[in-house]
Structure formats: C-alpha cells, structure tokens
C-alpha cells in the first residue's frame, strides 16, 4: 500500500485477484507480530445462534480467542452480537455492529464497518483478527481491501465447526465438507460480483 493514505483501500482489481487466487487458509502471524501493541481485536461470526441460547462451538471458540488477545492488547473488541454478547459479559469494552437476532450479515458489510471504526481510532491500521480458519482467508482479504492490516494468531487453527442443529444455524457453516465448496463456488464469486456491481 505504498504511497496510499492510512485509510486507503486496495483496488477492486486487487481484491478480485486475491479472491480468485489466494487459498482458503490465511497467513498466520509470527510470534514477534503478536507482541502487545494496544491493537483492536476484531472477528466475523461463523454461523450464528439465537439470543438467549448458548453459543455454538465455533463462535464460543472465536470469542475465547478474542478474550485472550483483548487481555494482552488491553484494547477493545469490534464486532457483532455473536461475540459481543459473550465479551461484554466478561467486562471488555466492545463496539457492536447493530443487527437483528440471527440476521445473516455479509462479511464485506461487517468488515467495512469494522474498518471505519478502526480508522476512527487514529492508532494505526493493525488489528488482531480471529475466526475459523476456512473463513479467515476471505475475511483477511476484505480487511486489506478496507485498509486494515490483519494479524491472525495461529491458535485460530483450533476453532472448530459445529454441526449441531440449533435455532438460527446456517446450513453451509456446519461442516468443512459443505463450507469449503460453498466458500470457493458461492461466497467468493458472490463477493466479486457485488464488488463490481458497487454493492460495497
């Protein structure tokens, strides 16, 4: 991003190429990249659960990682109700993306909002990004598109799928056998189409 302002996006061509050529698994951070720097922690939910119900295994694990890095970074969490419900009860400072119970919020919509919040903090572009590995590749590309530098802890490799049926569960998020083809054949092409149609 040499020569761009701190809040500048990558180009549409850059994001299109990344979505077409990068693998699902993201680039994980090295130990030296994870030294505390007072960076915000962000996440995009994987699957969902209804308010008043226990969280699914995927989002519970993501919130657990966010908890770990919030304690280390001594910063705030920026995200959606699947994680803020858990983290706010543990006393962390959170910024909540407003959404309906079990609403399907597209990743690019949430990441764009998160990037705006981060840029408004005026303390750099780096964020600690946590999530499910098969989802993180696309989320990291969106972070870069919106001008963020995502730092992804290798512990994210342990975030599991949850195949259980529950109120609000998304069928494409239950198993890797379903999600991986969905990611490559539906989610990424759909993101490219919406990008060029000016939908984000």
CATH number at residue 140: 3.40.50
Residue 41 in any domain: the answer is yes
What is residue 180's predicted lDDT score, i.e. its pLDDT? 98
Distance separating alpha carbons of residues 184 and 19, to the nearest angstrom: 9
Total domains in the chain come to 1
Pairing between β-strand 126-130 and β-strand 41-43 as defined by DSSP bridges: parallel
What is residue 1's predicted lDDT score, i.e. its pLDDT? 36
Residue 152 in any domain: the answer is yes
Residue 95 in any domain: the answer is yes
Residue 5 in any domain: the answer is no
Question: Would you state the structure tokens that stand for residue 143, as one six-digit string?
Answer: 């972070």
Residue 4 in any domain: the answer is no
pTM equals 0.93
Long-range contacts of 64-67 (CB under 8 A, 24+ apart): 65/130, 65/153, 65/155, 65/156, 65/159, 66/41, 66/130, 67/92
pLDDT in tens, the chain (200 residues): 343 444 568 999 999 999 999 999 999 999 999 999 999 999 999 998 888 889 999 999 999 999 999 999 999 999 999 999 999 999 999 999 988 877 889 999 999 999 999 999 978 999 999 999 999 999 999 999 999 999 999 999 999 999 998 888 899 999 999 999 999 999 999 999 999 999 99
Structural domain of residue 178, as residue ranges?
12-158+168-196
């Amino acid at each position: 991003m040499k020569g761009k302002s701190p809040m500048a996006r990558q180009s549409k061509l850059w994001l299109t190429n990344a979505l077409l050529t990068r693998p699902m698994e993201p680039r994980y951070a090295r130990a030296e990249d994870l030294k505390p720097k007072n960076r915000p922690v962000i996440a995009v939910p994987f699957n969902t659960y209804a308010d008043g119900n226990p969280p699914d295994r995927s989002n519970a694990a993501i919130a657990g990682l966010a908890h770990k890095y919030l304690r280390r970074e001594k910063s705030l969490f920026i995200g959606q109700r699947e994680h803020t419900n858990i983290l706010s009860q543990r006393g962390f400072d959170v910024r909540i993306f407003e959404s309906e119970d079990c609403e399907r919020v597209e990743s690019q919509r949430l990441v764009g909002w998160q990037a705006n919040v981060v840029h408004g903090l005026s303390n750099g572009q780096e964020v600690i990004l946590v999530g499910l590995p098969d989802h993180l590749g696309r989320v990291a590309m969106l972070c870069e598109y919106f001008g963020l530098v995502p730092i992804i802890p290798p512990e994210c490799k342990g975030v599991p799928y949850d195949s259980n049926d529950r109120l609000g569960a998304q069928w494409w998020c239950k198993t890797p056998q379903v999600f991986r083809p969905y990611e490559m054949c539906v989610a990424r092409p759909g993101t490219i189409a919406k990008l060029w149609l000016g939908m984000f």
